[in-house]
Amino acid sequence: MRGKHESTPMALHSKVKPSNEGDRRQKLPVTECGIRVSWLLSWAKVVEQKLGPDATTADVCAKFVIPSTRSKKCRYVDIIEPVNVGAPQYFLSHTWSMRFATLMEVVAQRLRNEPDSFVWLGKSNLWQDLSAK
């Protein structure tokens, strides 16, 4: 069941479109760049279908995040619908070698009653600073 603010995650980088608020969104402070839990978990299912259950956070970054942001020179949060981006209430720490599915399983378990919460993916800055690559 979808939450009231959840939308179907864009089918990875091939269908992600920049928000109409592009200039404003790129200036959004990192303190406002959390990802809605319900969106992240839905997007993660698409990632797993494409990459398989053993994909690492590094794989997700290399195969989806960087290709989506390289030509736009923006952060991944800048191309996610604004309703799915907000001030994070939780910080997720992980490693590049961690299975992305494992990280999402933990999120699903711990935040199952908080689908409209926002999370910050830490350490790798997966969503934040990849436009320089």
Give 10-residue mean pLDDT values along the chain (133 residues): 41 40 60 92 94 94 87 86 93 88 95 94 52 37
Predicted TM-score of the model (pTM)? 0.75
The per-residue pLDDT for 26 is: 54
Task: Report which of 128, 104, 131 is spatially closest to residue 39, judged by C-alpha positions.
Answer: 104
Output b/e per residue, 29-62; b: 16+ Cβ within 10 A.
eeeebbbbbbbbbbbbebbbeebeeebbbebbbe
User: What does the domain layout of the chain look like in residue ranges?
Assistant: 29-132
- Residue with token string 């995650």: 9
The per-residue pLDDT for 59 is: 95
Hey, what are 20's tokens? 């109409």
The per-residue pLDDT for 88 is: 93
User: Are 12 and 64 in contact, with CB atoms under 8 Å apart?
Assistant: yes
